[in-house]
Chains A and B, each alone.
Chain A
């Protein structure tokens, strides 16, 4: 191929890639605009008790962050003060327990029954217990968040660790790695895609659990705001904490997705 032809082919390939990216961005943008428009129209046509228009939610959101009486900022901080430590502790515990269960048969046999039961219990079944415990304090709420989030992290980590074939551990052993080095330098990186999938699942469960806990104890956090707004028959006020929760979920999920992609790029 001549160098001009090669150059032309290169330019075409770059242009094609850019077009694909641009049309994807455009599609997302158009979908978002159509959705907001539909929301606005339906909201304006409905009774405010059942539905609020998008503009009403934005105005309410603005009031929420500017007016201290709305307690929005406060509620957000309260939710985060349970979610963040609860989720971080779940990550640490879940990965450590999962790796130990995956590597040491005695630990696996000892813990597997508990993990199976807790992993498979529908969390709605815990609501009555939550209602009893949860009004009390943040420590208990954090414990409940950990109970919700830690099991999918354990199960995924465990699956990832058990999936590792001896063709990954054998070279390290041959080069004189001790068990701690094998864990840190072989097992954890090899199981990382599974571990991150577990963290995503755990995060979803943690977020739901905090809100359910707050909703039923009804005095704190975004869940509490959600509950009090729903009794005030003001749909715009209901939508604000709901939208913040949705945004939080999307943001943390995107962050984990980014970590996953930059890790998995090396796994092909």
Chain B
């Protein structure tokens, strides 16, 4: 067997290829273009946990929407198991920054929603939702409405909803940015715990370097104007990770490196702006 055929047999779970996206704002006779993504490419192995960090406005959410199929790219493609995507599908699920829960539905009904859309029989979807509500530690809250829950609990509902779709890939857009520090650390550890058990592929967007490094196998560092990848940083910390790893010297080393990369991206973007302007 040649090395070439060996490489082609290992198809990545997710492949993002040269994605470009420009938004146009039309105000009367003036059109301004915002190049949100200027050619982004990366791959994610099956079962891998990848974080994406970058300054706000660098196109992270846009990238996630394009991977999910909510927004169409101008150029390039997204491939799952080598197949090009054309829109949302059951192989991917999103955990939204803004939770995205339906205020008129109970926790149970929110978690069941995706299965209801698919026409899964009532008994089955009830059972599957209940199992995932238990998995995120919200048993007993099935009949509560979102307004009765804290931010951290709402996001656990969002996560249970994504799990209930049983996707291969979970896309998370700054899921813990709206919760307090202590809760965030607990949620991170809970997320790793569930991920270890279920072996899903995760793309996790955050603007916190600590969070990115603590959670991921690799950290993709993005820069702005246009949104692009500056560098990919491997995180060679052992698994399973616990809160003890947060203060480990290796983590701090990687964190410092990621931070310098991020700064470089920001400085380059500023220089680019000045060069143009």
Contacts and interface: CB of A to CB of B under 8 A. Distances in A.
A172 B101 CA distance: 10
B98 A177 contact: no
B96 A176 contact: no
A268 interface: yes
A167 B145 contact: no
B196 to A, nearest CB: 25
A176 B94 contact: no
B103 interface: yes
Contact of A170 (B93, B96, B118, B145): B96
Contact of A266 (B96, B114, B145): B145
B147 A174 contact: no
B100 A167 contact: yes
A179 B107 CA distance: 24
A167 B96 contact: yes
B137 interface: no
A267 B89 CA distance: 29
A174 B117 contact: no
A172 B100 CA distance: 9
Contacts of B101: 171
A77 interface: no
Contacts, number: 56
A186 interface: yes
Interface string B87-108: 0111001101010111111000
A176 B89 contact: yes
Contacts of A192: 104
Contacts of B118: 176
B93 A174 contact: yes
B104 A175 contact: no
Contact of B147 (A170, A171, A181, A268): A268
A173 B102 contact: no
A26 to B, nearest CB: 33
A266 B100 contact: no
Interface string B50-70: 000000000000000000111
B100 A170 contact: yes
A177 B117 contact: yes
Interface string B5-43: 000000000000000000000000000000000000000
A263 interface: yes
Interface size bracket, B side: 20 to 34
Contacts of B94: 171, 174
Contacts of B176: none
Main SS at interface, chain A:
helix
A168 B96 CA distance: 11
B72 to A, nearest CB: 13
A175 B88 contact: yes
Nearest to B171: A174
B165 interface: yes
A27 to B, nearest CB: 31
B49 interface: no
Interface in A182-203: 185-186, 189-190, 192
B113 A175 contact: yes
B93 A266 contact: no
Contacts of A171: 94, 96, 100-102, 113
Interface in A209-268: 263, 266-268
Interface in A108-160: none
B104 A176 contact: no
B98 A266 contact: no
A172 B70 contact: no
Contact of B102 (A181, A189, A268): A189
A189 B118 CA distance: 19
Contacts of A175: 88, 93, 113-114, 117, 165
B88 A266 contact: no
A266 B113 contact: no
Nearest to A182: B117
28 contacts: A167-B98, A167-B100, A168-B100, A170-B70, A170-B96, A171-B94, A171-B96, A171-B113, A172-B117, A173-B70, A174-B93, A174-B94, A175-B88, A175-B93, A175-B113, A176-B90, A176-B114, A176-B118, A177-B117, A181-B117, A185-B113, A185-B117, A189-B102, A263-B104, A266-B105, A267-B104, A268-B145, A268-B147
Top 4 A-B pairs ranked by shortest CB distance? Answer: A171-B100, A175-B114, A266-B104, A268-B147
Interface of A: 167-168, 170-177, 181, 185-186, 189-190, 192, 263, 266-268
